[in-house]
Amino acid sequence: MQNVLILRKNMKISVIIPTYNGAQKVGKALHALAQQTIQDFEVIVVIDGSTDNTAQILGRQDFGLKNLKIIEQANGGRSVSRNNGAKEATGELLVFLDDDTRPLNQCLEMHITHHEKYPNTFLVGNVPEDTAQMTTDFQKYKAHLSRKWVSDIPQGVPFTQQTLFLTAANFSTPQTLFWQASGFDEQLTDAEDFDLGVRAFQKGIPVYFDKQNIAWHDDFITCSSYLRRLKQYAKAHEKLIALKPALYSTFNQYQPQALGILKKLAYAFFAHNFWVTSIDDTHWLRIFPRKIRYKLYDIITTAHTRKKQRK
């Protein structure tokens, strides 16, 4: 039986932000942290072998933070960066953010409130795109998707095996519990957050989701860049399954389902690069109503990420 860690509103929090060539992004996250409703926390920015002078750029700015620590390391990936940040942390509660997020003012307070109510748990916050900041139709579609994906997740109860997910873009855990779960797997440079969630679930650590605890995701994508990310993530999960087949045999949320002949034909048609160009460059799909247009975006993005399976 684990010892229950009682967290307090005046406890020390360590916010850990890994960044790779994020000099033009991470400053927004730091400015947002300076506006939090609580101020007793440290911020640890881990610069992961960046080549864009992130440390120098951050050093020239005053973010209004009481305790900001900047760590530079050789490039090792997000798992190594987050673990190294956790090793430097002095707080009882670790809050992980990505360098392209902007936490709302009550974000840290909401993390504390959760852990007071549910000790010895993980909390996953929400990371939707800020519709007001999205400028293209496809960016607004992605903002729509991020809300749709979490719309039916029950609040106040932990994830089940079938619904489990974890994003480290807005995530908190007591420091002792983080290390009991062995931290992020440093073999992994992608999908490392889902891996941590799976291992936590296996160890009996409840993982919760709070839709109201928001850190805006400033991800100004194109269809092309979004497809690259989806393909990278698919490859990351293939690597996970190869590395840990027993662990992932019952966590198959990210394994693609078999396609019928009609879907294969439809996806083959929409997998042509013409459709990506139509979204990013010519924009002629805007003639359709939003509901139809977004459905087309669904089909086009799925078609491009299912190419490998059809071969």
Q: Is the pLDDT of residue 202 over 60?
A: yes
pLDDT for res 241: 87
Q: Which amino acid is at 4?
A: V
Question: At 173, phi and psi to the nearest 5?
Answer: -160, 145
pLDDT for res 310: 44
What's the Cα-to-Cα distance from 288 to each of 144, 268, 269, 271, 274, rounded to whole Å? 17, 22, 19, 20, 17
Nearest one of 172, 61, 73 to 123, comparing CA atoms: 172
Q: What integer best gives the mean pLDDT of the chain?
A: 92
- In this predicted model, what pLDDT tens digit does every residue of 94-115 receive, in sequence order? 999 999 999 999 999 999 999 9
Arithmetic mean of pLDDT, 109-137: 97
Which residues of the chain does CATH 3.90.550.10 include?
13-217
Looking at domain 13-217, its CATH superfamily turns out to be Spore Coat Polysaccharide Biosynthesis Protein SpsA; Chain A (3.90.550.10)
Arithmetic mean of pLDDT, 168-182: 97
Confidence label for 256 from pLDDT (cuts 50, 70 and 90) = low
Q: Is the pLDDT of residue 8 over 60?
A: no
Q: Is the pLDDT of residue 308 over 60?
A: no
Report d(CA 34, CA 288) in Å as an integer.
43
How would you classify the pairing of strands 93-97 and 13-19? parallel
Q: Is the pLDDT of residue 67 over 90?
A: yes
- In this predicted model, what pLDDT tens digit does every residue of 213-232 receive, in sequence order? 999 999 999 999 999 999 99
Q: Is the pLDDT of residue 311 over 50?
A: no
Arithmetic mean of pLDDT, 145-169: 94
- In this predicted model, what pLDDT tens digit does every residue of 258-295 receive, in sequence order? 778 988 899 999 999 999 999 999 999 999 999 999 99
Confidence label for 81 from pLDDT (cuts 50, 70 and 90) = very high
Confidence label for 250 from pLDDT (cuts 50, 70 and 90) = confident
264 vs 29, more confident? 29
Residue 76 CA from chain centroid, whole number:
18
